[in-house]
Structure 1
Amino acid sequence: MQALIWIGAFVSFAGIAGLGYCVFRAMKARRAGLSDDAMRAELQRVVVINMAALGVSALGLMMVVTGILLG
């Protein structure tokens, strides 16, 4: 079960890195001074990536907790 914990930690870290990427991309869009429509379109794409990254992070956390409970 030790492997499940480490794999889960890695998956969770990848999800957190994805969340950081979303923050970086949103700040980049904000600094670009886009029009309202372009900004809305960019942020809609960021929200999709954000939700996927949040799901990956939650999955990794579930793997860690499962590994701890089984170990």
Structure 2
Amino acid sequence: MGLFDIIIWAGAAVTLAGVAGLGACIVYVLRLRRAGLDEVSLRARLQRGVVWNMVALFVSVIGLMLVVVGVSLK
């Protein structure tokens, strides 16, 4: 297993972590909507969810970039 294979598999793992984070964001928002909160507190908590969603997307993109770099260098 060469260096490029390690980069590809590490990128795949990072991408899966990002996708898992996106799934967690979906579950978080669904639970919030079912909680029946007032609009102000719901909006504040949803803003926190948006931040976590952006972080999960960023992690996923970084992982995909690692996979592309590993495949193109191989």
**Structure 2: tracts of 5 or more residues without a match:** none
Q: CA deviation at 1:8?
A: 0.1
Is 2:10 the counterpart of 1:25? no
Corresponding residue for residue 55 of structure 1? 58
Corresponding residue for residue 41 of structure 2? 38
1:65 maps to which of 65, 68, 72 = 68
Deviation string 1:10-65 (CA, Å, 9 cap, x unpaired) is 00000000000000000000010000001100100000000000000000000000
Give secondary structure in 1 for the equivalent of 2:17.
helix
User: 1:10 is matched by which residue type in structure 2?
Assistant: A
Once residues 21 and 42 of structure 1 are traced to their aligned partners in structure 2, the CA distance between those partners, rounded to angstroms, is: 14
C-alpha RMSD of the superposition: 0.3
Is 2:9 the counterpart of 1:11? no
* TM-score computed with the length of structure 2 as normaliser: 0.95
- Runs of 4+ in structure 1 deviating by more than 2 angstroms, as ranges, are none
Task: Say how many residue pairs are matched.
Answer: 71
Identity of aligned residues (%): 52
